[in-house]
Amino acid sequence: MKTLFIPCYWDGLSRDSGSARIRAEWVTRHWDGAQVYDGSQRLAGCDLYVFQKLYLTHRALGWLAPIARWRNAGRCLLAFDLCDPDWLESPAHEHRLLEVLPAFDFAVATTKPIRTWLAQWLPAYEIPDRVDLDEITVIGPKQSSSNRLKPAPVWAGYGGNVGALDILLPTITRLGLSLKVLSKAQPVPFLDFWREILQFDILLNPRPDVAPYSYKSDNKTRIAWALGMPVARTADELERLCDPGERLAEVARRRAEVESEWDVKISVQEWKTIIEQWRETA
């Protein structure tokens, strides 16, 4: 099956967007017959088109219109991949989403809450973010934890999400830890982002059960685990990971989990299963 992923950076987002790397580039790398659109390929002639968070601009709508006609004529399948709760961004985002969703056969989401929202408008499936283990290998924190009297925790991400840290601040204070916040206004190159994080001992990635955090993917945790970086999402985890021996055990345990559950090759198989189901019902 000839498949074309059209990533979100064609909607004007940064080429360093993590979602394009995770949801399009890593997936197609392990899928024979699948490509990421780079501007040079002809749009016509594919069996499946995936608009990866691509829907806002006139360019996106201009590409969507003919492909939707081909889809209506039975010449292809058309899928929408959504990795963020964009409808919470603004009424304009929600309006545009509701405008374009009827053009697609089905949608794919990173998390169950996003899938549930999409399922109000069209068939929707969940394929979580996973990791390309051919690219992401164990590196581990650059500085040995044994060289520190106390571990150095770090939080990294978009500045608008830093409020998620609030649930860990009392524990950080009680344990006397020195927190580093790496707040980014825009996406930065993937390797640069992770090299900076790996200067520390523990990545903090709390998951408050309120919107918008409750909709978001836990991909940062999975990538950190693949790199050999311990992650604390709760106060209990942070307190436990203050012990160097616990951190070493966590690295081994989580890398094994990534290899068994979070390898992007599993996502490729899930995409193929969805497509096969659609072929059987066509």
Q: Do residues 103 and 200 share a domain?
A: no
The CATH number assigned to the domain holding 10 equals 3.40.50.2000
Point out the least confidently predicted range of 115-129, 136-150, 237-251, 256-270.
Answer: 136-150
pLDDT band for position 141 (50/70/90)? confident
Residue 143 has pLDDT above 90, yes or no: no
Give the confidence band of 175 by pLDDT, cuts at 50, 70, 90: very high
251 assigned to some structural domain:
yes
Identify whether 137 is part of a domain.
Answer: no
pLDDT tens-digit profile of 203-261?
A: 999 998 888 889 999 999 999 999 999 999 999 999 999 999 999 999 999 999 999 99
Residues 159 and 118 in one domain: no
> Does the structure show a pLDDT above 90 at 87?
yes
Same domain for 231 and 268, yes or no, is no
Residues 124, 222 share a domain: no
Residue whose pair of structure tokens reads 């929202």 in the numeric block: 117
Residue 150 confidence (pLDDT) above 70: yes
**What is the rounded average pLDDT for all residues in the chain?**
93
Output the pTM of the full model.
0.93
Q: In terms of domains, do 50 and 150 share one?
A: no
CATH of the domain at 194: 3.40.50
Q: Is residue 89 part of a domain?
A: yes
Q: Are both 14 and 125 inside the same structural domain?
A: yes
Mean pLDDT across 82-100: 94
Task: Determine the Cα–Cα distance for residues 118 and 179; give it in Å rounded to an integer.
Answer: 37
Residue 140 located in a structural domain:
no
Do 82 and 63 share a domain, yes or no?
A: yes
pLDDT value of residue 148: 67
If asked whether residues 92 and 11 sit together in one domain, one would say: yes
Phi, psi dihedrals of residue 228, rounded to the nearest 5°? 90, 25
Residue 197 has pLDDT above 80, yes or no: yes
Residues 54 and 96 placed together within one structural domain of the fold = yes
Q: How many CB atoms lie within 10 A of CB 141?
A: 23
Sorted by sequence, the CB contacts under 8 Å of residue 11 that are 6+ apart come out as: 53, 54, 55, 56, 57, 59, 60
Domains contained in the chain, number = 2
Does the residue 56 lie in any domain?
Answer: yes
pLDDT tens per residue across span 36-57: 999 999 899 999 999 999 999 9
- What range defines the domain where residue 188 resides? 145-261
Closest CA to 35 of 45, 25, 43: 25
The answer to whether residue 169 is domain-embedded is: yes
> Which residues, in sequence order, are CB contacts of 270 under 8 Å at separation 6+?
125, 127
pLDDT at 47: 95
Q: Percent of the chain at pLDDT above 70?
A: 97
Is pLDDT at 272 greater than 60 in this prediction? yes
pLDDT band for 188, please (50, 70, 90 cuts): confident
